[in-house]
Structure 1
Amino acid sequence: MNSTTTFDTPLALRHAIRERRWTGYTNHIAPHHVQGNLMIVPAAYADAFAAFCAANAQALPLLARSEPGVPFMPALGADLDLRTDVGGYMVFRDGELSSTPESITDIWRDDLVAFVLGCSFSFETLLRNHGVRLRHLDEGNVSAMYVTSLQTEACEPFKGPLVVSMRALSPADAIRATLVSSRHTMFHGAPVHIGLPQLIGIEDLSQSYGGHGLTTLREDELPVFWACGATAQLAAMHARLPFCITHYKAHMVVTDLRIEELAASA
């Protein structure tokens, strides 16, 4: 299937991901439904990670937390199975990436706790609804991510630099995007920085974190940076957790929640 494929419901999309009938990025395929970052940690670290999210809520807005050993989140989606429905996973052991499986059913454990965190893919719909052009979407791409020199507030053992996502916007769209996104803290809120990437420790826009996304600017564009949920991944790596799992880049948890409804209720 390609980026023009559509699904009647998020449930149909999740089943297609589970059955490997859809393997692409999720930002193009569920534009009206909330998507989230996935972080799965052993129960012994769950409360500390929740505290880290609360202390760094702009980067890590918490949408849901599972009970230990439970891979389902019915509040986010019918028949949502976090072991199979995310399209791709990154498994870390002692702070190092060990594998990128398509399913984590065979390594799921009774002590694992899952967190779903707000994602900027969701506010992109709101930006477009307000007339902001997102060139990376027009070109079938995703936003690039970067590791900054900005530090998160530590909640031991979790700490480390802030990760941001970048969108190339015209000056007028940068202003509009700031006004719109600032109202939606569950999707990272307002940008943390606009222009002059070197001021936040980004020396080369062509070198994105993960090696993907739109990284080139046109003469009439500014780089606009939002706090990013990938901050959690780096914090877990810095903590050298014995075991943790995240989603694979740009393959998010797709929920049944409608973006407009969640935005209106916030």
Structure 2
Amino acid sequence: MDVADLSPAQARGRFRTGERVPTAGWCRGWTQANLIAVPARLRYELLLFAHQNPQACPVLDVGEPGAWSTALFAGDLRTDLPGYRLYRDGRPVADLDEVVEEWREDLVPFLIGCSFTFERALLAAGVPVRHLEAGTNVPMYITDVPCQASGSLSGPLVVSMRPVPEELVKTAVAVSGHYPRVHGAPVHAGDPAAIGIRDLARPDFGDPVEVRADEVPLFWACGVTPQAVIMASGVEYAIGHLPGHMAILDVRDEDYRVA
């Protein structure tokens, strides 16, 4: 079966049994989300941080301390994503297939919106999505744009990039702008150096993609931003998804479209 035709439950079952792959293009029409789980003492700081940085950190769902499922994710957050990253004292210390043993009773899981949610809409409008064409992970970059700090949490904005033909830039902006709860319109277009990106061929997360002569790189706020904040803030313990290896929710993409 084409992975685009899988249900969220079918995809989660494959990840639970060991499939490790970026999820762009999986489960057509179903929403994907970033995972970040932090100690309960930081949950309100992270909620405030997300409120102050809504384009980068649009919160879709939050679990109770120790919970490994939420209202929008009926699976097991410890096993049903295709990859995890463990942080200690702000440092990524391990990339893991599952985190059953690492999932502490005080961890609060946050599910953050993902720009994969509007990629089908971009395609329907005739806007190419290069990483889907190439079958690779989306490229993501740590910028020099600071997020608004909240308590002990601060750090840089992370963006994802999609190259778009110049004549379709306005279309891409308009289409993605209909999805404000999953990052919405781009935060930057054009010169990557203007936001501190030195080399598009060397993303901080994900895979590089070709940018052709007639294309403009468009940059969307990215839900990996909380992981950059974990690193910049030296948070003592956290679990995130492996960038591009998302949680697939039991809610439809179109539920996040606004007129």
User: Is TM (by shorter chain) over 0.5?
Assistant: yes
| Partner Cα separation in structure 2 for residue 173 and residue 214 of structure 1 | 21
| Partner Cα separation in structure 2 for residue 110 and residue 158 of structure 1 | 22
Q: What pairs with 1:22-33 in structure 2 (closer than 5 Å)? A: 22-33=19-30
Aligned counterpart, 1:42: 39
| Partner Cα separation in structure 2 for residue 261 and residue 207 of structure 1 | 34
Summarize deviations over 1:147-166 as a string: whole Å, max 9, x none.
11211000021111111100
Aligned counterpart, 1:81: 76
| Partner Cα separation in structure 2 for residue 25 and residue 169 of structure 1 | 21
Shift of 1:133: 1.2
The letter of the residue matching 1:11 is A
Summarize deviations over 1:48-77 as a string: whole Å, max 9, x none.
01110110000000000000111111x213
Structure 1 stretches (4+) deviating beyond 6 angstroms?
none
Residue 139, structure 1, aligned to residue 130, structure 2: no
Q: What pairs with 1:107-256 in structure 2 (closer than 5 Å)? A: 107-210=102-205, 212-256=206-250
Does the CA contact (< 8 Å) of 2:144 and 2:156 recur in 1? yes
Give unmatched runs, 5+ long, in structure 2.
none
The letter of the residue matching 1:249 is P
TM-score (norm 2): 0.95
SS in structure 1 at match of 2:46: helix
Identity of aligned residues (%): 39
| Partner Cα separation in structure 2 for residue 173 and residue 105 of structure 1 | 44
SS in structure 2 at match of 1:180: helix
SS in structure 1 at match of 2:87: strand
| Partner Cα separation in structure 2 for residue 48 and residue 96 of structure 1 | 19
Summarize deviations over 1:119-150 as a string: whole Å, max 9, x none.
01111112112221112211112321111121
Provide the aligned length of Structure 1 versus Structure 2.
259
Does the CA contact (< 8 Å) of 2:138 and 2:244 recur in 1? no
Does the CA contact (< 8 Å) of 1:87 and 1:102 recur in 2? yes
Shift of 1:104: 0.6
SS in structure 2 at match of 1:100: strand
The partner residue of 1:52 within 41, 49, 52 is 49
Aligned counterpart, 1:13: 11
Q: What pairs with 1:68-107 in structure 2 (closer than 5 Å)? A: 68-73=65-70, 75-78=71-74, 80-107=75-102
Does the CA contact (< 8 Å) of 2:200 and 2:208 recur in 1? no
Shift of 1:8: 3.9
The partner residue of 1:63 within 38, 60, 64 is 60
Give unmatched runs, 5+ long, in structure 1.
none
TM-score (norm 1): 0.93
